[in-house]
Amino acid sequence: MSVTIYDIAREANVGIGTVSRVLNNSANVTSETRERVITVARKLNYQPHAFAQALARKRSNTLSAIIPFFTNYFFIEVLQGVQETLTTLGYDLIIHGANNKLQVEEYLQRSMRKGRVDGTLLFSMEFPEQYVEEFYQKKTPLVLVDTFHPKFDSIRVDNASGATTATEHLIALGHKNIGMVNASLKSAPARERLASFKQTLERNGLPVLEANIVTSTEEKNDGFSRESGFRGMVEFLERGVPVPTAFFVSSDIQAIGVLAALRERGLRVPEDVAIVSFDDVELAKNFDLTTMSQPMFKMGELAVKKMIERIENPNAPVTSVNFKPSLVVRASCGANKKYVFHEQ
């Protein structure tokens, strides 16, 4: 495995930002520190020509991030991890908000212009197939976050595993009639969470009732919003079918809307309806939501580290990191109290 700036930083007892500044011949490094970093680099067989290559590339020290054109808590927390890590490296970040596939393509084209940015992070959107070969052949640095393609580095969460854990937790609490409030099926995470929810019910001998599943048709935020959750639950309550004793909700922000809709109808959480959601954004704790926790900050941090490794070693094998979310139990599922659940 090739030596990276993280290995040099650890051995030289300096920050990765300091190593980056030495490699980029920045004046903001003392001669003593510069010498120590260079000595360690040589000791670890980080060949001298690598320094020349780093300078010859004339890096912009800038990355671009292409994200869906909306800001929700998931992206805020992931981008915090991106920004803080970039700051330590002395890098800047350009954020592009994409409303549609055409805008994604436009920003990808900009990313391929030599010298504009050193690499691109693509969030939560499918990488357009017509750009695969060009990016791959040119070795244009690209890291996919919350999405996947086998030819590029990716960092994501195991949505299927998370939905299984959430559903099995409700089953373990004694629920037999379980519904789901989902986001738009245009979203890969929403599709994966729904499929796993259904499979988990079937595997546990429970019926999969389509009448118990509400799927958002909203384009904004792909349905991952408070308004979507509120309207989804109102729509369900107006169907006139028995209300399940528990719901799996595909995101925390939707679950906050679900809670409001249930409260309007006079239904209590968790006494009447138990809730488990997904993400563990900062607001989840304020609403006592039991949820599947994603390491959002860490995803952003790791995305930058993968990018720097890819920039330094374009020929390295492609890697895919798939985090397994963990269950965080709070009041909304009723696990801390004993309730007797009756079919309604």
Beta strands in 265-341 (DSSP E): 274-279, 290-293, 320-323, 326-328
Give the model's pLDDT for residue 55: 44
Q: Percent helix, strand and coil across the chain, each rounded to 5?
A: 45, 15, 35
Position 54 scores a pLDDT of: 47
Q: Strand 290-293 to strand 326-328: parallel, antiparallel, or no bridges (unpaired)?
A: antiparallel
Note the pLDDT of residue 115: 64
**Could you give the domains of the chain?**
5-56 (1.10.260.40), 62-157+295-324 (3.40.50.2300), 159-294+328-333 (3.40.50.2300)
Nearest to 288 by CA among 273, 270, 271: 270
Tokens representing residue 331 in the block: 């009041």
d(CA 116, CA 111): 7
Burial of 74 from C-beta contacts in 10 A (0-12 / 13-18 / 19+): buried
The pLDDT of residue 187 is: 86
- Of 270, 226, 266, whose CA–CA distance to 246 is shortest? 270
> Are 277 and 250 contacting, i.e. CB atoms less than 8 angstroms apart?
yes
pLDDT of residue 98: 83
* Residue spans of alpha helices (H) in the chain: 5-12, 16-23, 31-43, 48-56, 73-89, 101-111, 132-138, 159-172, 188-203, 226-237, 252-264, 282-286, 296-312
Sign of the CA dihedral running 280, 286, 288, 289: negative
Per-residue pLDDT of the chain (344 residues; tens, 9 = 90+): 567 777 888 888 988 778 877 876 666 778 888 888 888 888 888 754 444 444 445 677 889 999 886 667 888 889 999 988 888 777 888 888 887 788 888 888 888 776 678 899 999 888 989 999 989 988 889 999 999 999 999 999 999 999 999 999 999 999 999 999 999 998 889 999 999 999 999 999 999 999 999 999 887 778 899 999 999 999 999 998 999 999 999 999 999 999 999 999 999 999 999 999 999 999 999 999 999 999 999 999 999 999 999 988 889 999 999 999 999 999 999 987 654 443 43
